[in-house]
Structure 1
Amino acid sequence: MASTGELIAGRYRIAARLGRGGMGTVWRAQDELLGRDVAVKELHVDTGLSELDAERQRERTLREARSVAQVKHPGILVLHDVVRHDEQPWLVMELIDGCSLADRVTANGPLTPAEAARIGLALLAALRAAHAAGVLHRDLKPANVLLESGTDRVVLSDFGIAQVAGQTTLTRTGAFVGSPEYTAPERMSGRHTGPESDLWSLGVLLCASVEGESPFHRDSVAGVLHAVVVDEIRPPQSAGPLLPVVRGLLERDPERRFGADETERALRDFLAQEGLPTVAHTPAPAPAAPRRRG
């Protein structure tokens, strides 16, 4: 693992660790060539992996780079570069000064329905851009949503398990890649997935934003899988006026699930009735610290 002060690829000086996820650790770094702060993502290397699985890990990192590079939208984290250091690929990304939605809820408690609706609209716009480019995110969850301090900007990050149209899906032997609580039932069942699967995840995220946890939270992975695929779905009453949207998004049949147009219309109508703007804004916990999840 990298350490503070280490120089990556002869250019990026590690300053501090920002976050750690299932696939990598993200560091704050100084770009010594351009004199700016960036986020760099270090791939987790499992020394027990076979050469084939290690190559799949590296390919997953490059897949993230290719996925993000195909989408240009202010609601999607900007990728600056891909470099190699110690024979491993690193992603060099825009640094967001703020926190993740998960950190915001943990620090300040659940959002109001209006706050959740505005963030939902921003994420919907980012997903539309990704889907138009043929990219499915497949891991939309509060930890992968960044809230920039002092602005209205909501940023979707972590395209590490994204699927790009026309490319073979990567899997990890013997493991589920993704976040089960936020994964659509058709993907759990191994069926074909499309943009509607990301919309299911958006519905779960809205629930988690106003309740503090997803409606599919259980004590075991098996329990989560059963809840997503079989159990009765009970959206939180804290969703209030968002309940019709949430129910529409958490429809197990993808053909009956709310599409992007229906979702946007419902969220905008709710905010209009409340006399509120449709631009996402929610205060970050104090003190705000630069965050970027791995």
Structure 2
Amino acid sequence: MNYGPLGDSPQHDRAAYRLGHRPLAQGGQAEVFPAEHKATGARVAFKRRMTWNVDAVARMRREIEFGQLSLGNDHIVPVLDYSKTYDWFVMPLAECNAEGARPSLSDDSQLRAMVLAVCSALEAAHGAGWLHRDLKPANLLLLNGCWTVADWGFGRRPRGDTTYTGRTTPGRFLGTVGFAAPEQAVDAHEATASADFYSLGQIIGWAKTGRTPQEGSPLLPEDEPWRTIVAAATQHDPAARPQDAHEFRELMRTV
């Protein structure tokens, strides 16, 4: 999928972008603005870090590193440009995220399309040794009508590539409460691919029930086959969940 590259313009130049007056989204460590690439007129999203906290710097660095990989997968949001000091980066401007598209996800075919898109992104990421560890509706973006996965700042690099394992210490919760797998409150560094599928199960439960998940409590829809899918994906024991995208797709075959 072509997201509108920024041409041959020099990269890593903050002055190349004109930011909108109001942010699209704000968090504790970063904010996202609609922006224009001056040389090409391309509309993009400009994410800038608001603190020099060491964890915030590391998180944005991970986002940039993974977004540059993108692994040739249409369902992973690419990074188009970035600061060499990891204080901002540029990505395609999304139409909305899953939170904004929630009414449309009540349609089974729409929800199925989103879930399978996330499976495709996870298959590519897991195949390269990366975990996301923070899947939630706000991190699923619709780009040109295609669902994509964004915000890999809590991601775990491939084994052996981690820059500082002490950043994710046992007993320190990592992720978003309710969507994160239970083991991410115990030792997030030792989480496996099944943790991402737990989160995907909770996203389905969120879309089907209209409720926000609580920690350690699976959101089970009333209707089948969604109830069975969510129940399988949100087992407390990581080994009892789908272990890869192929197994998750098998659960989805009856939708």
Name the Cα RMSD after superposition: 2.4
In the TM superposition, what is the alpha-carbon distance from 1:62 to its structure 2 partner?
1.0
What amino acid does structure 2 have at the position aligned with 1:256? A
What amino acid does structure 2 have at the position aligned with 1:56? D
Residue in 2 that maps onto 1:262: 247
CA contact (8 A) 1:249 1:258 kept: yes
Say which structure, 1 or 2, has more relative contact order (CA 8 Å, 6+ apart). Answer: 1
TM-score, normalized by length of structure 2? 0.83
1:204-223 maps to which residues of 2 (within 5 A)?
204-214=202-212, 216-217=213-214
Moved more, 53-62 or 188-197: 53-62
Q: Percent identity?
A: 28
Alignment of 1:102 with 2:106, yes or no, is no
Moved more, 110-119 or 60-69: 110-119
Change (3 A) 1:175 1:190: closer
In the TM superposition, what is the alpha-carbon distance from 1:234 to its structure 2 partner?
5.8
In the TM superposition, what is the alpha-carbon distance from 1:171 to its structure 2 partner?
4.5
What secondary structure is seen at the aligned counterpart in 1 of 2:220? coil
Alignment of 1:26 with 2:32, yes or no, is yes
What amino acid does structure 1 have at the position aligned with 2:248? T
Q: Aligned equivalents of 1:248 and 1:18: distance in 2? A: 35
In the TM superposition, what is the alpha-carbon distance from 1:202 to its structure 2 partner?
0.5
CA contact (8 A) 1:113 1:210 kept: no
CA contact (8 A) 1:112 1:210 kept: no
Alignment of 1:64 with 2:49, yes or no, is no
Residue in 1 that maps onto 2:75: 75
1:201-231: CA deviation from partner (whole Å, max 9, x where unpaired): 00001100111124x33xxxxxx3xxx1xx6
1:219-275: CA deviation from partner (whole Å, max 9, x where unpaired): xxxxx3xxx1xx6x46121x43212211110111111112322210221x224xxxx
- 1:196 aligned to 194, 197, 204, which one? 194
What amino acid does structure 1 have at the position aligned with 2:195? S
Change (3 A) 1:109 1:59: same
- 1:180 aligned to 177, 184, 205, which one? 177
Q: Aligned equivalents of 1:209 and 1:112: distance in 2? A: 10
What amino acid does structure 2 have at the position aligned with 1:247? A
Aligned residues: 234
In structure 2, list runs of 5 or more residues that go unmatched: 1-12
CA contact (8 A) 1:70 1:133 kept: no
TM-score, normalized by length of structure 1? 0.72
In structure 1, list runs of 5 or more residues that go unmatched: 1-7, 46-52, 218-223, 272-294
Change (3 A) 1:258 1:74: same
Q: Aligned equivalents of 1:148 and 1:70: distance in 2? A: 18
In the TM superposition, what is the alpha-carbon distance from 1:112 to its structure 2 partner?
3.1
